[in-house]
Each structure stands twice: as structure tokens, then as C-alpha cells.
């Protein structure tokens, strides 16, 4: 039975917002949109049973195991005795689920956020350093599965771009 | 549709992506330039991620405590159902690129059918994988053009790769019993694949090759492999066979 303690559920979201992607530490797992659901099966003052459903960005993303472990540790620390982390694959994760705040954080960190005008990583994506659109694609595959490598023709900085997916 | 056919089809998908992933993984640290080294290993990561999704599903269907690791590490080559194309050695960069192109273009056709098929889990895995496959097709297709329409040497190497790999593509379009049972339309896959490869080869200034005029090897889908697979499995499975059940 899922309880409807909205305050406690809100607290849970707050706690998960403190967990960051190990490969892109500027983003929380909520910013990334990989937390699909939290079910409070029994509140903290009862048995403390919670289930979190997450979805992978890319099928082979090596950060998923770490993220699942971080969620378990965080919620156990908050007092839950039983923490389940379930993984769902459908619907498939999309960068549309990334929050606006997350996109701003990425830009400030030096990673160009996904830009819907470009269905593929392409020339012309805005440089997160100087804001120029005079940029070029260096490699479609970057330092992680979710990113491409680009370079700015104006400020000459190479930069990561978080691909539309 | 029987459960056995569903398990076999799922294992075919798992084994093919795992074996190609293992092959591509050999390029880690050896790519021609850093960006391309990263590209081929990123594709490898996607393939192994897809393989894990399929193995987890197969393990769930088989039941009795079966795990993805058991399926990947504790089966012998006669039990592996991967298509022969995926187990062919890396050769040079041209051969690796062409093998990836042939397989990614095939995956794009096959997974589109899985996406619209009857099994909701295979459909979900296909939906997720197709996003990745579109990158793989674009990247590997661009390389075929770059090498084919490049220098005399690169063109020659890609032609040699075509000659080496072509006899292994025919198998993709001959339905194994489990594919027939699961209503995979291999004729439609063949049509979509050969149209796309013809267009690509023309763009890459390569001579078109016919699917009907070449002798084609078969057997991988039902566990009869070339000698190459045994060596690959021996290396891949070594740690689990030496230290059963080890984890880190």
C-alpha cells in the first residue's frame, strides 16, 4: 500500500536532490530526470519502506550502479529500513526530462546543454564559455556516452555538449 | 509464439551485442586518434549495455535463479547464438568500421520490428537502443565514406574488408527457427539493409556487391561458429571460470 504522506514524500525528493551524478557532479539525479517515481510504502514512523524507480540515460551508462547505491545509502541514513531501487527502461529516457535548472547548471559548469534546434550534435551549438554560435563538432562521441566534443571558433575553447537524446 | 523461442531470440540479441562489444573493446587505447578511440569504446559501452538488458530479460524468462552473468560467462561456444559477423576478428580499422556499419544498419532494421512486435520488454529495450543505434549508423557510415572516398590506400583497405566480411552478412537475412516463431520478417530486414548499404557504397565510391552471387556462411544463429569465437570467449570468460562467482 502506498501511503499518502505528502510531507514525507517531499522530504524524500529533497534528499534525492542532494545526490549527484558521479560523472557530471554539477547535476543532481533529479535535474537529470532519471528518478521516475518514489513510492512511500510505509512511513518513517512505521516500518520505513520506500521504493525508488530510476531509468538509465544510455543502456550502458556505468554511473547507474553507483547512483542506485547512493540512493540506498542516503535513504537508509535517513532512517528507512527497507529501500528498493527499481530500474525501468520504458519509456526511454530523453533529455526532455532534464530540468531547466539542470540545463543552466550545465552551462555554468562549462558543458553546453542539449539544444533542441539540433537533432544531432552539429556545428553551431552555443559555446558555454563565450556564447558564440560559431562552433564546430570535433567528435560525436565525448568523455561519456551522453556527450559530444565541440570547439568554439571564436574563443578557441573545446567544450563538451550534452547530446539531445 | 513459445517461451523457448522468445528465450532463444533474446539470447541471439544478447550474444550478438556482447560479442561485438567484446571485439570492439580491444580497440580501447589503440584507436587511430584519441577521439576515434573514444568513439569506438562509447559504441562498445552501448552494445554491452544493450546486451545486459537482453541477458537480464533472458535470465528472468529462464527463471530458477538464472543470472545475466551466468548467461554471459558460463555458456560454451555451441550455446552462443550470435551471428557470425560479430565474431569476425578486428583486422584493421577499415574492417572494424565496416563490421560495425553492417551490424548497426542491420540492428536498425531488426530493432524497428522489435519495437512494433508483440513482446513488450523487447519492444522497450529496442526503443531505448534505437536512439543509440542511430548514432552508431551515422558515425560508422561516415567512416565508410571517409575511407572509401579517401586515399588509394584507404579505398583499397575498405575493399579488402568488404571482401572479407561480405560472406558473413547473408546469415543475417536467413531466419533461424526462433525468428520465424517470433515473426521476425527477415525479407523486410534484407530489403531495408541492402538499400541503405547500396546508397552508402555508392557515396563511398565502392563497387556494389550482390547478396545473391556470393557464398554465405551460416550457423552462428544456431550455435555453429567459426574458430574465432572460442578464443574470444576463452579470454572474456577467463576470470569467471577461474574464480567462479567473483565480484568486485
d(CA A50, CA B51) in angstroms, rounded, equals 29
pLDDT exceeds cutoff 90 at B223: yes
**Local confidence band at A123 (pLDDT 50, 70, 90 cut-offs):** confident
CA B97/CA A41 separation, integer angstroms: 50
CB atoms B35 and A149 under 8 Å:
yes
Query: Domain boundaries in chain A?
Result: 6-93, 96-162
Looking at chain A, the whole-number percentage of residues with pLDDT higher than 70 is 98
Q: pLDDT-derived band of residue A101, with 50, 70 and 90 as boundaries?
A: very high
Residues whose CB is less than 8 angstroms from the CB of residue B190 and which lie 6 or more positions away in sequence, other chains included: B172, B173, B211
Q: What is the pLDDT, as a whole number, of residue A1?
A: 58
Q: Do residues B99 and B240 touch, judged by C-beta distance below 8 A?
A: no
CA distance B224 to B84: 9
- ∠A69-A71-A77 over CA atoms, to 5°? 100
Cβ–Cβ < 8 Å for B174, B87: no
Compute how many other C-beta atoms are within 10 angstroms of the C-beta atom of residue B216: 16
Average pLDDT over residues B161-186: 97
Class of domain A6-93: alpha beta
Supply the DSSP symbol for A162.
Answer: E
DSSP B32: S
Cβ of A58 and B38 within 8 Å? Answer: no
- At residue A2 the predicted structure's pLDDT band, cuts being 50, 70 and 90, is low
Predicted pLDDT of residue B25: 96
Q: CA of A93: which chain B residue's CA is closest?
A: B128
Residue B1 reports pLDDT greater than 50: no
pLDDT confidence bin for A165, thresholds 50/70/90: confident
Cα–Cα distance between A105 and B130 in angstroms, integer? 28
Q: Is residue A12 within 8 Å of A76, Cβ to Cβ?
A: no
How much is the pLDDT for A58? 87
| Chain A, window 20-39: residues with a beta carbon less than 8 angstroms from a chain B beta carbon | none
Distance from CA of A58 to the nearest CA of B (A): 7
The DSSP bridge partners found for residue A82 are A49
Which of A34, A54, A59, A148 has the most B C-beta neighbours within 10 Å, making it the best mutation to test the interface with B? A59
Task: Give the pLDDT band of residue B214 (cuts 50, 70, 90).
Answer: confident
Q: What pLDDT score was predicted for residue A59?
A: 85
Residues forming a β-bridge with B185? none
ipTM over 0.85: no
- Residue B209 — very low, low, confident or very high, per pLDDT cuts 50/70/90? confident
**Mutate which: B32, B135, B248, vs A, most A CBs within 10 A:** B135
User: What is the CATH number that goes with domain B3-242?
Assistant: 1.20.1260.10
Check residue B2 and give its pLDDT: 57
Span B155-182, mean pLDDT? 97
Nearest CA-CA partner of A34 in A14, A64, A2: A64
Q: pLDDT digits over A46-76, tens only?
A: 999 999 999 998 888 888 999 999 999 999 9
Distance (Å, whole) CA A105 – CA A97: 15
CA–CA dist B27, B14 (Å, integer): 21
Considering Cα of B130, then B136, then B140, then B145, what sign does the dihedral take? Answer: positive
Amino acid at each position: 500500500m502506498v501511503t499518502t504522506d505528502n510531507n514525507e514524500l517531499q522530504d524524500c525528493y529533497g534528499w534525492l536532490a542532494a545526490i549527484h551524478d558521479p560523472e557530471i557532479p554539477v547535476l543532481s539525479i533529479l535535474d537529470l530526470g532519471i528518478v521516475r517515481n518514489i513510492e512511500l510504502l510505509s512511513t518513517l514512523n512505521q516500518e520505513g519502506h520506500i521504493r525508488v524507480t530510476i531509468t538509465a540515460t544510455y543502456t550502458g551508462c556505468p554511473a547507474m550502479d553507483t547512483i542506485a547505491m547512493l540512493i540506498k545509502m542516503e535513504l537508509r541514513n535517513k532512517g528507512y529500513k527497507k529501500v528498493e531501487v527499481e530500474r525501468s527502461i520504458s519509456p526511454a529516457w530523453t533529455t526532455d526530462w532534464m530540468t531547466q535548472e539542470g540545463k543552466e547548471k550545465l552551462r555554468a559548469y562549462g558543458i553546453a546543454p542539449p539544444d533542441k534546434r539540433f537533432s544531432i550534435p552539429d556545428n553551431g551549438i552555443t559555446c558555454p564559455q563565450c556564447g558564440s554560435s560559431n562552433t564546430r563538432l570535433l567528435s560525436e562521441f565525448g568523455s561519456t556516452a551522453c556527450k559530444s566534443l565541440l570547439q568554439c571558433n571564436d574563443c578557441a575553447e573545446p567544450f563538451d555538449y550534452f547530446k539531445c537524446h | 509464439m513459445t517461451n523457448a523461442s522468445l528465450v532463444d531470440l533474446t539470447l541471439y540479441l544478447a550474444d550478438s551485442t556482447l560479442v561485438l562489444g567484446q571485439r570492439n573493446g580491444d580497440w580501447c587505447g589503440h584507436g587511430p586518434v584519441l577521439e576515434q578511440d573514444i568513439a569506438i569504446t562509447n559504441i562498445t559501452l552501448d552494445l554491452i549495455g544493450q546486451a545486459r538488458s537482453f541477458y537480464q530479460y533472458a535470465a528472468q524468462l529462464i527463471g530458477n535463479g538464472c543470472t545475466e552473468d551466468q548467461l554471459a560467462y558460463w555458456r560454451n561456444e555451441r550455446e552462443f547464438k550470435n551471428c557470425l559477423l560479430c565474431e569476425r576478428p578486428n583486422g584493421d580499422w577499415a574492417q572494424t568500421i565496416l563490421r560495425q556499419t553492417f551490424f548497426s544498419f542491420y540492428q536498425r532494421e531488426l530493432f524497428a520490428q522489435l519495437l512494433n512486435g508483440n513482446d513488450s520488454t523487447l519492444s522497450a529495450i529496442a526503443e531505448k537502443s534505437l536512439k543509440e543505434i542511430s548514432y552508431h549508423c551515422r558515425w560508422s557510415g561516415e567512416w565508410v565514406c571517409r575511407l572509401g572516398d579517401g586515399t588509394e590506400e584507404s579505398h583499397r583497405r575498405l575493399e579488402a574488408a568488404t571482401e572479407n566480411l561480405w560472406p558473413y552478412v547473408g546469415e543475417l537475412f536467413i531466419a533461424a527457427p526462433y525468428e520465424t516463431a517470433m515473426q521476425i520478417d527477415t525479407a523486410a530486414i534484407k530489403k531495408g539493409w541492402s538499400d541503405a548499404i547500396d546508397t552508402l557504397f555508392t557515396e563511398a565510391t565502392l563497387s556494389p556487391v550482390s547478396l545473391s552471387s556470393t557464398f554465405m556462411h551460416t550457423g552462428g544463429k544456431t550455435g555453429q561458429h567459426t574458430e574465432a569465437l572460442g578464443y574470444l570467449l576463452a579470454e572474456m570468460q577467463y576470470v569467471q571460470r577461474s574464480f567462479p562467482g567473483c565480484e568486485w
